[in-house]
Structure 1
Amino acid sequence: MNKIIAILTVVKLQEAHSKRTVISALRDKVIEGGRINKDEASGLTAAHGTALFELLAAANSIRDHFRGDTIDLCSILNARAGGCSEDCAFCAQSSISAAPIGRYPLKPPAIVKKAAIEAGNHKSKRFCVVTGGRAVSDKDVGKLAAMVSAIKEAGLLPCATLGFIEGEQLDALIDAGLNRYHHNLETSPAFFPEICTTHSFNDKLRTIETVKAAGCSLCSGGIFGMGEQWADRLDMAFLLRDLEVDSVPVNFLTPIEGTKMGGKPTLDPLEALKIIAIYRFILPDKEIRICGGRLQTLGQLNSLIFMAGADGLLIGNYLTTMGRAEADDLNLIDTLGLRYS
């Protein structure tokens, strides 16, 4: 019996060593300028136990090589809430949501500027105005341009999340100082119909094409834990690579009572860290920014996000959920010996 146990132990050690070797080889391939393919990325999803922590360490090495020790911080403001016509299953502001949320029209530029100044005091480099709804009207664009100018006056880089947008509308915002436009894919093309039926994945791609054609920096990522499979996560990652996005927000579903996904469990925290790490392998030179659902999903493992390959962070509160105290996030960055951008 002891001999059998010894043989099994050797086999397990050999398997673990093989996984570590594969992870190390892929890490070196990426650092040397190569790209991993979908089959290689799929192999990384099987990492668990000791191999998972090796995966995190390898992702950290890739982050350090391509992105250095600087963390890009951003904050957001819900500049208009409620009244959305879309049926996104995860969103408290969607047309099918019964979640109790505040509803209000566009906030005045002075309020936006005050919030941007406060964000800057907490080391945020970027400040993003967000509006609920499918798209903005031409009438709204003038007011939003004034917000963009106010953010720029506050000394931060202005960003915007305004849903679908036309080229002329975007040009007006860029003229006012807009630095980056955020428009999530949310998930893979195959899984998207499971989370929204009032617009299509191709609608999203058209908006992304509009942003790229305007020469504006693009922020696009998605939400994890909505019921998607690893194949969906990888499909989105490789599409983001093909689209050459600048920043990739990684959100984890926060189940909100009253939404279609209100009863879903949160992701396992190690699964969440594995997502971050594999995205770093696929998108080695891009900003990978951890956003909504971070604390609800990761809990005490929140401190490992940068060691898993992230180099960006949304600090403060989110749209309809609470975030972490800014001072706690800044203390984490300082403790890890990292810097603010």
Structure 2
Amino acid sequence: MFDYDKLAEKVLAGKELTNEEALAVLQCPDDELLLLLHAAYRVRRHFYGNKVKLNMIINTKSGLCPENCGYCAQSIVSKAPIEKYSMMKKDEIVAGAKRAAELNAGTYCIVASGRGPASRELDIVASAVKEIKEQHQHMTVCACLGILKPEQAERLKEAGVDRYNHNINTSSQHHSNITTSHTYEDRVNTVGIVKNSGISLCSGVIVGMKETLEDVIDMARSLRILDADSIPVNFLHAIDGTPLEGTDELNPRYCLKVLCLFRFINPTKEIRISGGREVNLRSLQPLGLYPANSIFIGDYLTTEGQEGLVDKQMLEDMGFEVDLEPLDSEIAKAL
């Protein structure tokens, strides 16, 4: 039997997992899963206690995207029957922040489809963020608008954007199997622009897109190197009409092992169970909060999420509490 507690002690001592140890986590026998979760929880508890961060998304522009990402219902190659609309008005985005605050979501994520923001779209987001920060001073505002130029990142920083999401999605080796309309290096370049602007970086992955175990380990290590403050771990929800339609490689136990791996490799970071949580973790969703310390509430971009009262009950049943600590305090504590 593998000694997972020794992995926790190693991580808490500031050391990194070897590739062999990382593989052992992903290949953990199902009858040892509770031991693995206990070890990952030791690390999670050390940095975050029993607190859970709540995040809420607003899809401010749907579809109409020129990229060919194989997982996405909004891409140009998708035939999925989704609602398509251009950029929302500022007042609609601001109203979404009020809803997020009412649901105790500490982070409000403003997302727009497309390769990158047009000038008009950036103007709307910047104006909305300024008003949101006036009304909700302690709310973390995250933007996800695609590939950025340095001057665009500076504009968002000036407007009050606290965090910017730009996922690496998969490993550098597997990237061209998922999309060819932009490169892995394009994504890493935007990550660098975000960090240089002084905005906190949110960057994550999608697991279940026919990648190898080694790819998953590479994703977790890449995010450690990129020093992402927040890491959303999505589990593929294969949507009919997308190139990955019918892909079904995941089970709840493996998803839990992936979350444990990300906690071990990125011990001080916010690990968020993101898209696909409900359809992939299913009845084991509560166990995901032993390695992870963050979830999305409400709906995702083009798929429905779990009903809010169910999430609230889940947290209460497990003895976890909602973390409303401001972003600056959160990052300082993890350093």
Give the TM-score category using the shorter length: over 0.9
Q: Bigger CA drift: 37-46 or 156-165?
A: 37-46
What amino acid is the match of 1:315? I
Aligned residues: 321
Residue 52 of structure 2, aligned match among 71, 79, 82: 71
Flag as ranges the 4+ runs of structure 1 deviating above 3 A: none
Deviation at 1:266, TM superposition (A): 5.1
Matched, 1:172 2:172: no
Which residue in the other structure is 1:116 paired with? 97
- Partner letter of residue 280 of structure 2? T
- Give, in angstroms, the shift of residue 312 of structure 1: 0.7
Aligned partner of 1:236: which letter? M
User: Aligned pair 1:90/2:71, yes or no?
Assistant: yes
Match of 1:181 in 2: 164
- Unaligned runs of at least 5 residues, structure 1: 1-15
Which one of the candidate residues 274, 279, 287 is aligned to 1:304? 287
Deviations 1:168-217 (A, max 9, x none): 11111111110000000000000010100110000001000000111110
Q: Which residue of 1 aligns with 2:250?
A: 267
Partner of 1:190: 173
Normalised by the length of structure 1, the TM-score is: 0.92
1:223 aligns with 2:206: yes
Q: One-letter code of the match for 2:82?
A: I
Partner in structure 1 of residue 331 of structure 2? none
Q: Deviations along 1:257-283, whole A, 9 cap, x unmatched?
A: 100011111511101011001111111
TM-score normalised by L of structure 2: 0.93
Q: Deviations over 1:270-320 (max 9, x none)?
A: 01011001111111110000110001111111111112x000111100000
Per-residue deviation, 1:87: 0.3
Larger radius of gyration: 1
In structure 2, what residue type is equivalent to 1:232? D
Question: Is the alpha carbon distance of 1:323 and 1:154 closer, same or farther for their aligned partners in structure 2, counting shifts above 3 Å?
Answer: farther
Deviation at 1:74, TM superposition (A): 0.8
Superposition pairs of residues 93-242 of structure 1, within 5 angstroms? 93-155=74-136, 156-242=139-225
The more displaced of 141-150 and 245-254 is 141-150
**Is 1:288 paired with 2:271?**
yes
SS in 1 for 2:289: coil
Q: 2:302 aligns with which of 313, 320, 331?
A: 320
Instruction: Extract unaligned runs of 5+ from structure 2.
Output: 324-335
Q: What RMSD in Å do the two structures reach over aligned CA positions?
A: 1.1
- 1:325 Cα deviation from its structure 2 partner: 1.1
Amino acid across the alignment from 1:284 = P
SS in 1 for 2:52: strand
